[in-house]
Copies of this chain bind each other. A is one copy, B any other.
């Protein structure tokens, strides 16, 4: 069966003596780790969690978070790992929406209990030690050792396995229901390109409440090991790759660029590192070159996906990166790649009719990795998954060879004087100015044009920018109707946990005047 529990049972049986977890607290084999999982399942069960229940997790990355998630699968309960950077009220809303019967909280987040967000669950908290050298009177380990392992409850492929909240960049958070089959399907689909092996050591760098964390599943199937970085800093990423001898990891372009500029880079042994996956946005050729120089014999792969797709949809393999850098087809680096096996993808207009090759339209997809919908949101599920296809809300175009180019979020596209403007294209133009450190372009109401373009810009330290300079810069590069006439210069932009700029938040700030800095 394509279930996370069948996968774990097989990996334990076949790779029982091989490492599952490599951590500062020690190394666990798959036999040992599975035993911990079965005890953790008993612990949850003793607290009243039954099959079909949901329970929250509030934790930085750790093997204990992985253990809790597996323990949920083991007993048939659904883990809900939550973004701890959200506001207390948002976290509370998620736990209530998901009807969580219990929350496992890393003691690092002790202050949250006093906050409103956990008070309603205060007698249903399982404290998880933060590990490392931190002093702790947490009872978790004692309790774990005191329980008897719970027998595995067999899951069905279509059972919900995991609930992940998404939507931070576009609106109110929605709980995405991912079934066992969804997650395992994507791990199988990825295997064609990731080519996992039992000698792999996957380092979990992005936060585990994000769907990108599911990338580790394909390595579990192959019998590989896992290591966890509690929180990303460039230095911590580098030293952990060295200390655990990590072979695979996923980073965002921002993380990669920060890491390549870090002083620790030169003194770190990265010889174990074999495959670097990046996603969320494309990366410029010069940074890919630098990454290849710095990381040695590493394969670089770009991926595009969504929480709703468990998560990967397209992959741009190493060969295309090499081709682009050899100058053969430089535009390929702007592509997020091609659909992985088992993913069907179409580009359609507002009537769900396919657009011609190379034309822009909404990306819609289907496949075994596509979620069956959102929790408690029948309307959004019906609309978002209409006619059997997930409507991603992303605007893209696909060329003759099947390479996908992302243009914009549908909601971020600006319609000005009847013309469609993709903010990503305008931003790419602004980024070419050395004085632009970061920027985002949004539409604001305009009496004449319906919408007008407003650019919010963070200036490179030391640089001096004005609206006149940037308008002049754009003039030779993009069509007149795409040039922003309004600018705001700010100190920073609101961002998600994956370093995506939160345009909804930005629009809200702009409209309420809450965006620091004068409008030019």
Interface residues of A (CB under 8 A from B): 1-2, 6-7, 9-10, 13-14, 16, 184-185, 188-189, 191-192, 195-196, 221-222, 338-339, 341-342, 344, 366-368, 401-402
Chain B CB within 10 A, most for which of A222, A344, A367: A344
Instruction: Write out the residue numbers on chain B whose beta carbons fall within 8 Å of the beta carbon of A339.
Output: 10, 14
Minimum C-beta distance from A5 to chain B (A): 10
Chain B CB within 10 A, most for which of A188, A189, A339: A188
Minimum C-beta distance from A320 to chain B (A): 12
Minimum C-beta distance from A1 to chain B (A): 6
Residues A342 and B191 in contact in the complex (CB < 8 Å), given A13-B402, A402-B14: no
Instruction: Write out the residue numbers on chain B whose beta carbons fall within 8 Å of the beta carbon of A10.
Output: 339, 341, 344, 402
Docked CA distance A16–B401 (Å): 8
A222 touching B188 by the CB < 8 A rule? no
Between A and B, 25 residue pairs with Cβ closer than 8 Å are A1-B342, A1-B344, A1-B366, A2-B185, A2-B342, A2-B367, A2-B368, A6-B344, A7-B341, A10-B339, A10-B341, A10-B344, A13-B402, A14-B338, A14-B339, A14-B401, A14-B402, A188-B191, A188-B341, A188-B342, A191-B191, A192-B196, A192-B222, A221-B341, A222-B341
Interface of A is mostly: mixed
Docked CA distance A240–B85 (Å): 61
A1 touching B367 by the CB < 8 A rule? yes
Docked CA distance A401–B12 (Å): 9
Chain B CB within 10 A, most for which of A6, A9, A338, A342: A342
Minimum C-beta distance from A274 to chain B (A): 14
Instruction: Write out the residue numbers on chain B whose beta carbons fall within 8 Å of the beta carbon of A184.
Output: 342
Chain B CB within 10 A, most for which of A192, A341, A368, A401: A341
Task: Closest B residue to A181 by CB, please name it.
Answer: B368
Minimum C-beta distance from A141 to chain B (A): 28
Task: Closest B residue to A388 by CB, please name it.
Answer: B1
Docked CA distance A1–B185 (Å): 11
Instruction: Write out the residue numbers on chain B whose beta carbons fall within 8 Å of the beta carbon of A196.
Output: 192
Minimum C-beta distance from A105 to chain B (A): 34
Docked CA distance A184–B368 (Å): 12
Instruction: Write out the residue numbers on chain B whose beta carbons fall within 8 Å of the beta carbon of A6.
Output: 342, 344
Chain B CB within 10 A, most for which of A9, A189, A368: A368
Minimum C-beta distance from A30 to chain B (A): 12
Minimum C-beta distance from A262 to chain B (A): 34
Docked CA distance A195–B13 (Å): 22
Docked CA distance A185–B16 (Å): 25
Docked CA distance A188–B181 (Å): 13
Chain B CB within 10 A, most for which of A7, A191, A192, A195: A192
Q: A10-B341, A10-B402, A13-B402 are in contact. List 5 more A-B contacts (CB 8 A).
A: A2-B342, A16-B401, A188-B188, A188-B342, A192-B222
Docked CA distance A331–B338 (Å): 44
Instruction: Write out the residue numbers on chain B whose beta carbons fall within 8 Å of the beta carbon of A401.
Output: 13-14, 16
Task: Closest B residue to A344 by CB, please name it.
Answer: B6
Minimum C-beta distance from A158 to chain B (A): 12
Docked CA distance A317–B118 (Å): 50
Chain B CB within 10 A, most for which of A1, A184, A222, A339: A1
Docked CA distance A196–B195 (Å): 9
In the A-B complex, list the 5 residue pairs whose CB atoms are closest, starting with the nearest. Answer: A188-B188, A14-B402, A13-B402, A221-B341, A191-B191
Docked CA distance A2–B339 (Å): 14
Instruction: Write out the residue numbers on chain B whose beta carbons fall within 8 Å of the beta carbon of A189.
Output: 188
Task: Closest B residue to A195 by CB, please name it.
Answer: B195
Docked CA distance A1–B345 (Å): 10
Minimum C-beta distance from A9 to chain B (A): 8
Task: Closest B residue to A17 by CB, please name it.
Answer: B401
Docked CA distance A179–B26 (Å): 46
Docked CA distance A185–B7 (Å): 15
Task: Closest B residue to A7 by CB, please name it.
Answer: B341
Docked CA distance A336–B368 (Å): 30
